Amino acid sequence: MQYTHLGRSGLKVSRLCLGTMNFGPHTDEADAHNIMDSALDAGINFFDTANVYGGSGHRGWTEDIIGRWFAKGGERRERTVLATKLYGTMTDRPNESKLSALNIRRALDASLKRLQTDYIDVYQFYHIDRDTPWDEIWQATEVAVQQGKILYSGSSNFAGWHIAQAQEAARRRNYTGLVSEQSIYNLFRREVELEVIPAAQQYGLGLIPWSPLQGGLLGGVLKKERGGVRRIEGRAAETLEKHRDQIQHFEDLADGLGHEPGDIALAWLLHQPAVTAPIVGPRTQEQLDAGIRALDVTLDADALKRLDDIFPGHRPAPEDYAW
């Protein structure tokens, strides 16, 4: 396994992050525990979850599953860099969502209880809260750090200017601020190259891409379709039909390189200088194994250029649209 620092922090994390959103709704607890054990055995030490994971009516379910896995012992907690998130609505009570000081305190304590741990390594803000000032957010976060309940802070789904706003507010308080940003980023979705990635690099944040296979569209969907397996539905199916030729070119390129399409898509992210660790969210052991394979894929300059030709990216703003 390869490891790198999470942004400008001294924290070392694996180049793949285990996403746990499927644990509970799509993967039963026994299989989830086995997947987490396999991830640790493979050297993946970075696990991502959120307090809302578990589905409607079952929020907190995924954290409960992870907590019972930690309770098995075997230094599972000590070997894991644990990241969870808050922002989403947990109940219909008015103060059980977003980033008020009250919700940060309550949501953190509730996550710690479900996860059966006394600290969170990376506590992430799942979305920008436009109604709560950063001084309030950082004051509540600083208290949690002083109490030993969290070590680092991260963001998710922020715009570039949100990162700048957060970091400048932290600077005024002589506080570390954010060390990571979790954004959608893949060959299909490259908008973060405009301003989020430049902001993350300027302020020393590690980028943690979610949906690296764009809902399966970059995972060999046409190859599976020809084999009689088709799981793409809804909006993804519409996107597939709209971009069928583009996806076919991508799958042909992957075949020519001797790798599975999903391996190429993950490897491409691992070749991007701002990326710390793409999130792989397996439902099964086989999907975890497929994600780990990507670590052994090396893409040369020609392969990277051909991928850019198929999926054009962005230059940083304003050059992308001004010059």
Nearest Cα residue to 145 out of 126, 168, 173 = 173
Q: Distance between CA atoms of 138 and 155, rounded to whole angstroms?
A: 13
Q: Which two tokens stand for residue 125?
A: 């803000």
Under a CB-based contact definition with an 8 Å cutoff, are residues 36 and 72 in contact?
A: no
Q: Report the sign of the C-alpha dihedral through residues 277, 278, 284, 288, in that order.
A: negative
d(CA 5, CA 14): 9
Mapping DSSP onto H, E and C, the string for 24-63 reads: CCCECHHHHHHHHHHHHHCCCCEEECCCCCCCCCCCCHHH
Catalytic residue among 53, 87, 123, 203: 53
CB 49 within 8 A of CB 81: no
Asked if residue 202 lies in contact with residue 180, where contact means CB atoms within 8 angstroms, the answer is no
CB atoms within 10 A of CB 72: 11
Catalytic residue at 53? yes
Residues identified as active-site: 53
